[in-house]
Amino acid sequence: MKGILLLCGLPGAGKSTAGLHADDVIKSVGAESKLISFDGIESQIKREQLKDPAVFDVQVWNEARRIAKEQVRSCCNANHAQDLVLIVDDNMHYRSMRREYYRLARDYGCPFLLIYVHSDPEVAWERNSARVEGRIPSDTFWRMVSLFEEPSAEEMPENHIVVFENEDGLDYSCLDSAICRLLESPLDFIPAPAFDADGEALRQVIRLFRIMLTSHLFHPCSLLSLCFLPISLFFPIFLCAE
């Protein structure tokens, strides 16, 4: 079975360190893992295009995101002899970014776990500033801080979210526990199928319309049914909107 372990947090929060540790833990129990780092892909693109590694390039950043997602899809489609956990490492500061991978896991029936590595912005900024390569510019970093949407039950069920505080160092025991739960009980982390409320409401409307139209044709004198047609059409939509 394949699984997706998604790491998110501010630059300098400790995601890459957590990802490397997770990679070691997964392999130590006999499972297969693949670390997909957005920073690593971004650095490779810059080397290939002979660009300054210390300068942030939005086009390279977007290309790295595209390549990373394609790598995840490719791994999900491939056949593996043993369990495979994809460790995806990126800032993922918007909920919509994380939802992309949650939906992808749902589509492939893969266990999914989001690891939010939380760190005080000032501490994360100091770590980011100390980097030689892949350093995020000040304006970009603090803009990301202001825009960062912390994971919550609004974007996915809470059992798929684990929060780690990383002020003085990552608590590896908590990380190990989360990984073990993912490996030992993978079925508990498979996203539930989506319910298409709008589509279901439309199907109910069509069914009701057909029933009432047929009833009217067979009972021409019964105009009362047509009086309730508007209510019958919109009532299912009202229920789904609640």
> Per-residue pLDDT tens for 162-205?
998 877 666 788 889 998 999 889 988 999 886 544 454 555 55
State pTM to two decimals: 0.76
**Per-residue confidence band for 27, with pLDDT thresholds at 50, 70 and 90:** very high
Residue with tokens 């595209």: 66
Q: Residue 217 has what pLDDT?
A: 43
Separation in Å, CA 40 to CA 13, 46, 110, 118: 16, 10, 24, 21
Distance, first Cα to last Cα, the chain: 36
95-108 and 58-77 helices cross at what angle (nearest 10)?
20
Judged against a pLDDT cut of 80, whether residue 215 lies above it is answered with no
Q: Which residues fall within 8 angstroms of residue 137, CB to CB, at 6 or more apart?
A: 56
Q: Residue 234 has what pLDDT?
A: 45
Do residues 108 and 76 lie in contact, with contact meaning Cβ atoms separated by under 8 Å? yes
Helix (H) or strand (E) holding 136: none
Q: Residue 210 has what pLDDT?
A: 60
Q: Residue 87 has what pLDDT?
A: 96
Q: Residue 236 has what pLDDT?
A: 42
**Domain at 2-189, CATH from 3.30.2130.10, 3.40.980.10, 3.40.50.300, 3.40.50.970:** 3.40.50.300
Mean of pLDDT values over 226-236: 47
Q: What percent of the chain has pLDDT over 90?
A: 49
Judged against a pLDDT cut of 90, whether residue 160 lies above it is answered with yes
More confident residue, 140 or 221: 140
Judged against a pLDDT cut of 70, whether residue 93 lies above it is answered with yes
Q: Residue 82 has what pLDDT?
A: 74
Please report, for the chain, the start and end positions of each structural domain, with discontinuous segments joined by +: 2-189, 197-241
CB atoms within 10 A of CB 33: 19
**Per-residue confidence band for 135, with pLDDT thresholds at 50, 70 and 90:** confident
Do residues 4 and 110 lie in contact, with contact meaning Cβ atoms separated by under 8 Å? yes
Q: Residue 212 has what pLDDT?
A: 56
Q: Residue 168 has what pLDDT?
A: 67
